[in-house]
Amino acid sequence: MLHRDQAEVEFSRIVAFSDGVFAIAITLLVLALEIPPNADVADALGDRGAEFFAYFLSFAVVGRFWMAHHRIFGSIALFDTTLVLFNLAYLAFIALIPFTSEVLGNYSDDSTGVALYAANLTAVSIASWVMVRYAYRHGLMRDEAERYRARFAGVGSLLVAAVFAFSIPLAFVSPTLATISWASLFVLGDRMVDRLTGIRKPT
Amino acid sequence: MLHRDQAEVEFSRIVAFSDGVFAIAITLLVLALEIPPNADVADALGDRGAEFFAYFLSFAVVGRFWMAHHRIFGSIALFDTTLVLFNLAYLAFIALIPFTSEVLGNYSDDSTGVALYAANLTAVSIASWVMVRYAYRHGLMRDEAERYRARFAGVGSLLVAAVFAFSIPLAFVSPTLATISWASLFVLGDRMVDRLTGIRKPT
Amino acid sequence: MLHRDQAEVEFSRIVAFSDGVFAIAITLLVLALEIPPNADVADALGDRGAEFFAYFLSFAVVGRFWMAHHRIFGSIALFDTTLVLFNLAYLAFIALIPFTSEVLGNYSDDSTGVALYAANLTAVSIASWVMVRYAYRHGLMRDEAERYRARFAGVGSLLVAAVFAFSIPLAFVSPTLATISWASLFVLGDRMVDRLTGIRKPT
Amino acid sequence: MLHRDQAEVEFSRIVAFSDGVFAIAITLLVLALEIPPNADVADALGDRGAEFFAYFLSFAVVGRFWMAHHRIFGSIALFDTTLVLFNLAYLAFIALIPFTSEVLGNYSDDSTGVALYAANLTAVSIASWVMVRYAYRHGLMRDEAERYRARFAGVGSLLVAAVFAFSIPLAFVSPTLATISWASLFVLGDRMVDRLTGIRKPT
């Protein structure tokens, strides 16, 4: 376990590098949108409903993960090589979203396409949870972060991963239901987690 | 409402993340330019006039929005989760410009293509206005920014959005006129806003 | 003319934004390299000589411009909106290099393709010169930078632009000669400028 | 040799620029993954095993190089133009990885495709070694870094380059064996280097 001063890779750079990957991944989402030359624009746009939906959904999803990533790293006091590697694994799944989001936009009615997207979000959530759990277990968190242990590293924090994981088989029953289950996370997510873990956001 | 010190996501990171999205989006504009292998380069370049125009126009547009975004965030003292979400929504429309700009370049004579670009710029302008208005209403602005309230959050600041919005139906009358209406904003924009709102830039 | 403290857009952000555009443009160069699926890799690689040359040349060119950009902005003490706009125009030509570099790689024997690349580098050089000249004329440079006025804003600094500009017609005589003329700039460039302007690098 | 204060290009910007190239290159890896429209998603995914492997392998490789780059630049006290140019050459090979990784994913059974990837990693390793050696030879390293001279600039540090270089001919014997030889580096790498050079990581 290294203090910031002894650190091989400085703490601020890990965060800046992560931010860079987030910013690039979120901006690359737009590459999934395309209208071929010599098409009828109005018709082509009419056919792109699912792709626009996937773009805005994924922008919201990556943006949300970015906010969560910041909250996590704002609470970390120390880090070691293992944490940096966990963070890289986490980012590998974030950087994958432009691909799975493009598949979701092109194949919004296909169970496998929707399940792939759900699997990607599940992997991000689990990677995030493993990273936070490791940081708590190895005393890498700030003292003030101890009160959030239940929220960040407890069972409740796995709820998000569980919903995403559950939507993988759900996609084979109904791709639409799976999509709705993610959207519900954005509306209910925070409150459900708080109620389950019995903690409240500070004012 | 959170002060900088209590903030979940630190203020400087929101700005750095936004800058990253701006820098990536403005650089991705170039991907719309392409000359297929085995073409006659001189001929192909001659046919790319509208695409080059769209590239430089969009570079100027994104650059201008970036400058405006900085002026806004330079005036903000506090932020809350809602403001971060508004900023993400704003960035989602900024990151969309490489797509609508490519369509504009490929379909400069097509009303729908031009209207799509106009709609994108309208969305950015409205998202910006909503964000600023929210910041003023909830006391998130610096005290010094109070004198710019009319300029930033008043009716005059909606003028830009209004011109873009008006150019959407205009595109169906004449794509060229719609394009000229945006260009006029760059020349007259600041002065008109200042005259309408009765305020002057500080020296 | 605004001091750093009064500045609408903070100075450090202009530089950071510029760095971002440079880093993205230099990394996007790789997208010009591609081997289609189901090809013979060895054969395809053998055919890619000109594309690899264009990649490494452009990497060196953008890298060099980035170093020059830093030297310039390291000497600037104040800035105004005009300088920011000049910088955006400069960056628009930097961000264009991935496109003209791809054309150069695909059409290394085609006069128009080589001339397009030369025109792009000419535009960057002139934009840089206009920006520096403006900064000197309007007293935006640091006092210590006064001794470099001849080097940065004088006739000698236009030499680079002149070589690039001269290579545009040269490309129509011989694409190879035009390419060699750029390469010579990297070897002779600094020394020739110093001799012509009669100044020396500080130790 | 320039101290930080006299530096043309400031030290922190070299590192930030390098980080930007790393972050962009690592995120561009995802562009190699694609499922064409109107395909059978499940079938297409099943065929993408080698591409997913290449994605995650290259993400780990670039991430590892990024960590090593930071450790190196964390030990550098001074820099000169030559070091900046060495760093640019190093980054040119890092930014090439999205291309060679895409080839590896598409041609995982093709000796030339695997050898190209091995050659790319060899080039990065050698460029890194040249850069570090130069920094030590010209006294650009911090005093504390002297004890790592054997580890960073000695024969052991060339071991990684040697394994990659050896895997180039190995790819023509068996592409699979070559791939395994890189993977073994991640597992054994650090320990072998430490044993060979007789030094240990500080606690």
Tell me if D161 sits within 8 A of D176, measured CB to CB. no
In the chain, the amino acid numbered A18 is S
- Which letter, b or e, does each residue of A154-172 get, where b requires 16 or more Cβ atoms within 10 Å of its Cβ? bebbbbbbebbbebbebbe
Give the C-alpha separation, C128 to C142, whole Å.
17
The confidence score (pLDDT) of residue C191 equals: 59
Is C203 contained in some domain?
no
Write down the pLDDT at residue C73.
86
Listed ranges B134-148, B179-193, C118-132; the one with the highest mean pLDDT:
C118-132
In-domain check, residue D116: yes
Residue of D nearest to A81 (CA): D67
In a domain, A105, yes or no: yes
Kindly state the tokens that stand for C84. Answer: 């920011």
- Mean of the per-residue pLDDT values of chain C: 84
The CA-based dihedral angle spanning residues A20, A22, A28, A33, taken in that order and rounded to the nearest 10 degrees: -160
Q: Which long-range contacts (CB under 8 A, 24 or more apart) does A40-43 make?
A: A41/B103, A41/B107, A41/B110, A41/B112, A41/B113, A41/B116, A42/B112
D175 contact C CB<8A: no
DSSP state of B198: T
User: How distant, in Å, are the alpha carbons of C62, C128, D41, D59, D183 from that of C97?
Assistant: 8, 15, 36, 26, 36
**Confidence at C113, pLDDT banded by 50, 70, 90:** very high
Q: What is the pLDDT of residue C141?
A: 85
Residue D76: partners with Cβ closer than 8 Å, 6 or more residues away? D11, D83, D135, D140, D141, D142, D145
> In angstroms, rounded to a whole number, what is the distance separating the alpha carbons of residues A78 and A80?
7
CA–CA dist C15, C22 (Å, integer): 10
Q: Do B9 and A42 touch (CB under 8 A)?
A: no
Provide the domain count of chain A: 1
**Which carries the bigger pLDDT value, residue B2 or residue B118?**
B118
Closest CA to B37 of A65, D182, C104, D103: C104
Please report whether residue B48 resides in a domain: yes
Mean pLDDT value of segment C132-161? 79
B203 within a domain of the structure (yes/no): no
What B136-145 contacts at long range (C-beta under 8 Å, 24+ apart), as own/partner pairs, is B138/B1, B138/B80, B139/B1, B139/B78, B140/B1, B140/B76, B140/B77, B140/B78, B140/B79, B140/B80, B140/B83, B141/B75, B141/B76, B141/B77, B142/B75, B142/B76, B142/B77, B143/B77, B144/B75, B145/B75, B145/B76
pLDDT tens digits, one per residue of A54-91: 999 999 999 999 998 988 888 888 888 889 999 999 99
* pLDDT beyond 50 at C202: no
pLDDT in tens, A75-133: 888 888 889 999 999 999 999 999 999 999 999 889 999 999 999 999 999 999 999 98
Tell the residue number behind the tokens 């949300």, with chain if given.
A64
How far apart CA C30 and CA C98 sit, in angstroms, is 8
* Confidence category of residue C8, pLDDT binned at 50, 70, 90: very low
Position with higher pLDDT, A37 vs B194: A37
Nearest CB to B23: which of C24, C85, C102? C24
Quote the pLDDT of residue D196.
Answer: 55
**Res C5: pLDDT:** 46
Confidence of residue A52 (pLDDT cuts 50, 70, 90): very high
For residue C141, what are the β-bridge partners?
A: C76
Contact C19, B24 (CB under 8 A): no
Tokens of B188: 């007259």
Q: Is C25 on the interface with B (CB under 8 A)?
A: yes
Q: Is the sign of the CA dihedral C18, C20, C23, C26 positive or negative? A: negative
Range of the domain at B57: 4-197
Q: What percent of chain B has pLDDT over 70?
A: 83
Q: Could you tell me the two tokens for A24?
A: 């690039």
Cβ contacts of A9 on chain D, cutoff 8 Å: 67, 70-71, 74
Q: State pTM to two decimals.
A: 0.91
Q: Is residue B202 part of a domain?
A: no
C27/D25 Cβ within 8 A: yes
Check residue C76 and report its DSSP letter.
Answer: B
Residue D50 forms contact with C (CB below 8 Å): no
Residue type, C125: S
Q: For residue B54, tell me if it sits in a domain.
A: yes
More confident residue, A15 or D150: A15
Mean pLDDT per 10-residue run, chain D (203 residues)? 52 89 97 89 90 94 91 84 92 97 92 94 93 89 76 72 90 90 71 54 45
Across the range A9-36, mean pLDDT stands at 91
**What percent helix, strand, coil does chain D show, rounded to 5?**
80, 0, 20
Residue B50 within any structural domain of the chain: yes
- Most C CBs within 10 Å: which of B12, B31, B41, as the mutation test of the C interface? B41
Say what the pLDDT of residue A190 is.
60
Q: Which of A30, A37, A63 sits opposite B99 (nearest CB)?
A: A30
Q: pLDDT digit string (tens) for C61-95?
A: 999 899 889 888 888 888 888 899 999 999 999 99
Residue D77 φ/ψ, nearest 5 degrees: -100, -35
Kindly report, residue by residue over C19-50, the tens digit of the pLDDT.
999 999 999 999 999 898 888 999 999 888 99
Highest mean predicted confidence (pLDDT) among B11-15, B38-42, B54-58, C181-185: B54-58
**Cα end-to-end span (Å), chain C:** 33
What residues 68-127 of chain A have any CB closer than 8 A to a CB of chain D? 81, 84-85, 88, 91-92, 95-96, 98-99, 102-103, 106-107, 110, 112-113, 116
Per DSSP, helices labelled H in A75-174 are 81-94, 97-106, 111-137, 149-153, 158-173
Does D194 contact A at CB distance below 8 Å? no
B104/B200: higher pLDDT? B104
Question: What integer pLDDT is reported at residue D195 of this predicted model?
Answer: 58
Residue type present at position B110: D
Classify the phi-psi angles of A198: left when phi > 0, otherwise alpha if psi is within -120 to 50, otherwise beta: left
- Judge whether C1 is closer than 8 Å to chain B, CB to CB: no
